Amino acid sequence: MLDIAKLPQAPAERIIYVNGEYRLQSDANISVLDHGLMYGDGCFDAWTGRNGFIFELDPHLDRIYRSIFSLRLKMHLKKEELRAIIIETVRRNALKDFYIKVLVTRGASPEPVIDPRKCGECSVIVFVRPVQTEVSEEQKQRGVRVKVLGEKRIDHDTVEPKIKSLNYLHIVMGKLEAWAAGYDEAVFMDVRGFICECPGFNILAVSGNKLYTPSHDILQGITRNSMISMAKERGMEVEQGFYTLYDFINADEVMITNTVAGVAPVGEIDGYVIGTGKQGPVTACFARTYEEWLQNGTRGTQCFPEAWEE
């Protein structure tokens, strides 16, 4: 367990890492000419943590560095350096349970025009915050209500979905469309009518002893991968492929997953009740196991080893 008395003293104001410095939030800033601000030119990743453990620190790091490479960003920090910065930012904020977000942009341009060749070094920002809530307990109890969006998922031959880019306008608009229609969340289809992913979530379904999830036009979620691992450990058949709305509304269970929310049951899609409309046994098992992994440090990296006692 984590001995709270051995944690560093909590700061009076949140600490944010910005381009080589650990700054108070009120003093944290970047240039207004930064390409991340002007064009969404960059990428990010996010982690969650409990009891001082960062869950799946290295798989997330690997993913953001794949995004950095794919976007041709001039990243000056090596992976092990950013890893150390993330841990140090957690320590300076002295948080036991937390959410981490890392942003990497192309950097500042001398003029507000599109010319990435003239940007300098990347801007690197690391936030650490108390645990965030993206799906409420009430929504988890009754099942998340999901709307099928009229807007289609951006095709992979236009913007590669494996890159967790800062250009999230289609995600924002998708959420606004769902909320305006009175739903909790949404799901994108591609232009051919196959289910892809939700704005900010992966989506998975269970029918009998099979777990299935879209394989295309999606962000390859770390939490999604955890669900696949759990399913295999339970002896379930796991399938990744192309699925229509029909395949999801006729499933026994549907769940959405991401780093912040973990595992959340879907009770309804576009008015179609999924299963009983409540959290099913497989989803409940995955959610419980995921929380246990977070709490006990499974696949975790401890930021306060001096305060952790077996």
Residues 132-139 have a mean pLDDT of: 89
Percentage of the chain modeled with pLDDT above 70: 100
Residue range 208-220, pLDDT digits in tens: 999 999 999 999 8
Map residue 42 onto helix, strand or coil: strand
Asked if pLDDT for residue 117 goes beyond 80, the answer is yes
- Please, which residues bridge with residue 99 across strands? 48, 129
Residues 179-185 have a mean pLDDT of: 96
Identify the CA nearest to 163 among candidates 40, 76, 31, 256. Answer: 40
Q: 203 versus 159: which is more confidently predicted?
A: 203
Domains of the chain with CATH codes: 4-132 (3.30.470.10), 137-296 (3.20.10.10)
Return d(Cα 168, Cα 176) in angstroms, integer. 13
Where is 253: in which H helix or E strand? strand 253-258
What does the buried/exposed string (b/e) look like for 217-237 if buried means 16 or more CB atoms within 10 Å of the residue's CB?
bbbebbbbebbbebbeeeebe
CB neighbours of residue 310 within 10 Å: 4
pTM: 0.93
Least confident of 247-251, 257-261, 263-267, 281-285: 257-261
Q: Which pLDDT band holds residue 65 (cuts at 50, 70, 90)?
A: very high
Q: Radius of gyration (Cα) for the chain, nearest Å?
A: 20
pLDDT on residue 174: 94
What does the buried/exposed string (b/e) look like for 176-190 if buried means 16 or more CB atoms within 10 Å of the residue's CB?
ebbeeeebbbbbbbb
Asked if pLDDT for residue 93 goes beyond 90, the answer is yes
pLDDT on residue 96: 95
Question: Which of the 8 DSSP states describes residue 2?
Answer: B
pLDDT on residue 2: 87
Return d(Cα 14, Cα 5) in angstroms, integer. 19
Percentage of the chain modeled with pLDDT above 90: 86
Residue range 136-173, pLDDT digits in tens: 899 999 999 999 999 888 877 777 889 999 999 999 99
CB neighbours of residue 18 within 10 Å: 17
Q: Any residues with CB less than 8 A from the CB of 245 and at least 6 apart, and which? A: 148, 189, 193, 195, 269, 270
Q: Could you give the angle at the alpha carbon of 163 between the alpha carbons of 213 and 206, nearest 5°?
A: 10
pLDDT on residue 154: 81
- Strand 144-148 and strand 262-269: pairing? parallel
Q: Which pLDDT band holds residue 190 (cuts at 50, 70, 90)?
A: very high
Residues 291-303 have a mean pLDDT of: 95
Asked if pLDDT for residue 206 goes beyond 80, the answer is yes
Q: Which pLDDT band holds residue 308 (cuts at 50, 70, 90)?
A: confident
